[in-house]
Structure 1
């Protein structure tokens, strides 16, 4: 029906939009012949800036569908870049989109980066992804009632959007986008603030954030001291000391720990000023001493021994301290 309507000049209107949304949401691999039909159709819906609930709902559904398109699907930027950039810029000025709509627009764009490295300049410098992600997540943190128990905070739409931002950020760090250290530190700090609030509320959300922290540690563009400034390493140490005896807590952090050790081996002091590096190390050791992290880790050494046998990881505590 979609192809026939396209051949006849597009006469189905609303039905065509519904059909495009359905097939994009349902197909893991969208047929190539439908890409040049469905993508412009859905972007046209999202470009509508009329201030009405119906228009906002239409944009939300269209952008949600677009964000579901497989990241590996080949797509020429001429098909989408001008329109998606206009949608994001207009929202940044007028705030016309719903939260899910805006997150979906970013997810669609971030997922296209691997097709064209030139998109990085648009995403990072023109549209300021890090700034926008930080602002959105801070606002979502404020609008969720984390004490809500009747359904659990994980049931709310806002928390689902936070989880979707985690996925988008995972792809962002996976693609090693270049940001200045200040932007990275602000974004990292925002994620740390969120984790401190949500970690006791939902195991699922907690695991998603730790998975994201692991990807950040592995990102070539992030120096260890940026993660320190943002508070990720502090967060890991605190959470490990507080919850490592709980079921699954060590499981959640184990890949992060392995990635951190590997990064500490690879991202040597030579990559930034020696003076700055010494200052960072001193701050870490002072933190260990003040908070008792080293004692707590030594007390739980038996758990690391179990972890060593299970995952074939040698001398985790000593590796960690030596390379830190």
Structure 2
């Protein structure tokens, strides 16, 4: 029997939920020795690993963080044990892409920041392991923009760990945690780039030659680098032409997709969840790449085909995967440098039309699909397109129009738009006059 899914024992008696068990174990910590605390926290981490979003949010409150801070101050919990719990909470938050944990509102955040700054300034007897742990907790649990001083300390500290080239499993997991923390910070700016771009580039290139990173670590270092595009457009050429993002993303996504297929057949649910998380992170990164990158070349279409393959094999219980695939198609359609012709060739247009047919009004998949088609209409009627593609615009319009007729799109879209008539965002209604965007054929 699972720990809880509002579990019931065989005799029908209601047992505690995961969140209730977590809270009960937390209350026991005050009355235990340090070694006993460590064992309880390991059990608490196991509970966190199995929690759904609602359960996780219910336990990760400001009250919890303040209580941990008070226990540390009163010497009822060691820093070592508090970090054991908080790092795992941050790890799960990062992997599950959760937000709004209220850590930044707590006294614990203030204390941790002071400890990080104070420890970093020590000339002698600096506790490097403690500093790394505190930086990882701070980056993964925070929701706010850090001060330049704090960000500088955290990035420099974690880059030392991330640059390790050891192949021992324990060392690789430490590198993975450091890179995951850096990727999740979202706090890239010119300071971080200027200090560490060469190191990041070397980490990627060394892995490409020696395969020394875990799958999650490799995705994380790309994420840390990719979000630098927002601050420095000059990174684009290096990302595309020097570090070969398209080639690497295609390989990683295809390999993860094969793992998903194998694990489904083997019914290995635990490993399947881990692989799906990494796959989702790559797909989100590709979505960002489609949206931001203007260096579109012939090789780039391979990335569209790769996402399309994931979309085709994703199942109903993996709607989040289907959703991010549709969103990445939408981002590609919004990018004027991405050829409409390439989106047609990859099957993205047909995929969106197929999704429209089987969608329901309240589905986020429907919203992504409608947004994609709205952008398609705008692109096909635009007089200022940068590129015409090998196929003439009139031919492109005819091909799309025929696909829509074959799929029975028009009746379906009218029904969906009428159902959404009360929504504030009336941009959906552009699609109701779809025929206005096409030439007479």
TM-score (norm 2): 0.65
> Which residue of the partner structure matches residue 335 of structure 2?
219
> Which residue of the partner structure matches residue 282 of structure 2?
165
Q: Distance in 1 between matches of 2:429 and 2:413?
A: 13
Match of 2:412 among 300, 305, 323: 300
1:66-102 CA-partner distances (Å, limit 9, x unpaired): 0012256553422110111010001111111111100
> Which residue of the partner structure matches residue 133 of structure 2?
18
Offset of 1:144 from its aligned partner?
A: 1.0
The answer to whether the 8 Å contact 1:184/1:226 transfers is: no
User: Any residues of structure 2 matched to 1:64-213 within 5 Å, and which?
Assistant: 64-71=180-187, 73-145=189-261, 147=264, 156-180=273-297, 182-213=298-329
Are 1:240 and 2:352 matched, yes or no? no
Q: Distance in 1 between matches of 2:390 and 2:288?
A: 32
Which structure has the higher relative contact order (CA within 8 Å, separation 6+)? 1
- Paired residues, number: 318
- Structure 2 stretches of 5 or more lacking a match? 1-114
The answer to whether the 8 Å contact 1:269/1:277 transfers is: no
Provide the secondary structure at the position in 2 that maps to 1:236: helix
Q: Distance in 1 between matches of 2:211 and 2:390?
A: 45
Provide the secondary structure at the position in 2 that maps to 1:116: coil
Offset of 1:110 from its aligned partner?
A: 0.5
User: Any residues of structure 2 matched to 1:32-51 within 5 Å, and which?
Assistant: 32-51=148-167
TM-score (norm 1): 0.86
Change (3 A) 1:236 1:273: closer
Provide the secondary structure at the position in 2 that maps to 1:144: helix
Offset of 1:3 from its aligned partner?
A: 1.9
Q: Distance in 1 between matches of 2:240 and 2:378?
A: 27
The answer to whether the 8 Å contact 2:240/2:246 transfers is: yes
Offset of 1:233 from its aligned partner?
A: 0.7
Offset of 1:212 from its aligned partner?
A: 2.0
Change (3 A) 1:156 1:127: same
Change (3 A) 1:267 1:169: farther
> Which residue of the partner structure matches residue 373 of structure 2?
257
> Which residue of the partner structure matches residue 4 of structure 1?
118
Change (3 A) 1:24 1:267: farther
Offset of 1:309 from its aligned partner?
A: 2.6
The answer to whether the 8 Å contact 1:154/1:202 transfers is: no
- Structure 1 stretches of 5 or more lacking a match? none
Q: Distance in 2 between matches of 1:30 and 1:270?
A: 39
The answer to whether the 8 Å contact 1:39/1:79 transfers is: no
